[in-house]
Amino acid sequence: MSGVKFTFHQLFVVGAARVGKSALSVQFVAGRFGDEYAPDAEDLCRKYCLVDDEPAILDILDTAGDQEEFVTVMTPYGGLADGFLLVYSITSRESFEEITTFYQHILRFKDKGSFSAILVANKCDLEFEREVGIHEGRDLANHLGCGFIETSAKRSTNVDQAFKTIVREIRKRDEVPLFPNFGTNSKLMSLFWTADCTIHTSQHETCRSGFR
């Protein structure tokens, strides 16, 4: 069969409100940072990238950032997720403490061995406002059995690495199906797109065109 082969992954970006989930997603997908993003918006976008010279298609669900809303999304779609970016802000201890609850929500829907996760400590450019130490982040990641990275969506520090690390983890974890191209084979994608969840188009306009 001709055509390029891709690995295909569904990633959920999860965490408390205002930690920078949308900023990280937009920075990764579109390479830009804006000061404001719709606070309650849930967004889905697609990114093609090379990870260790192998092409990958990533469907990234930027969740709305409230526990209740997250459970609502996880109920029908959580089973599809291969990887979770668990995001807190180094400037908010509360957001750090909420990570454990988000993780417990994930475990309600997925077996531990069936997904990969990375703990993402965002806003590392705001060192002078830091409330959560890097060692605390590492300790929590060890406790959860996942990777850890500090990022700044604003400065684009480690943003690519965060997303690519999770892809590596997923590839290591299991045999990921290879698709000759996404057009005809992506059953998961069409499930998302017929989903009865609010998908706002404003933030990811540039990447969204890739779906059409």
- Strand-pair partners of 201: none
Considering the complex, state which of residue 105 and residue 173 has its C-beta at the smaller distance from ligand GDP. Answer: 105
* Residue 122 touching ligand GDP (CB under 6 A): yes
Site for Mg ion in 21-50 (CB under 5 A): 21-22
Q: What is the DSSP letter of 87?
A: E
Give the one residue of 30, 126, 176, 199 binding ligand GDP; rule: CB under 6 A.
126
Cα separation, 66 vs 56, in Å, equals: 29
Residue 199 as a binder of ligand GDP (CB under 6 A): the answer is no
Q: Assess 160 for contact with ligand GDP (CB under 6 A).
A: no
Using CB atoms, what's the residue nearest to ligand GDP? Answer: 20
Q: Which residue has the tokens 């959580």?
A: 78
Tell me, residue by residue from 27 to 66, as one string, x for binding to ligand GDP by CB under 6 A and - for no binding: --------xxx-x-------------------------x-
125 in contact with ligand GDP (CB under 6 A): yes
Structure tokens, 207: 């990447």
Q: What is the DSSP string of 10-61?
A: EEEEEESTTSSHHHHHHHHHHS---S---TT--EEEEEEEEETTEEEEEEEE
Least separation, in Å, of the C-beta of 72 and Mg ion? 15
Q: Is residue 203 involved in binding Mg ion (CB under 5 A)?
A: no
Q: b vs e for 144-169, b when ≥16 Cβ sit within 10 Å of the residue's Cβ?
A: bebbbbbbbbbebbbbeebbbbbbbb
The site for ligand GDP (CB under 6 A) is made up of 17-23, 35-37, 39, 65, 122-123, 125-126, 152-154
The site for Mg ion (CB under 5 A) is made up of 21-22
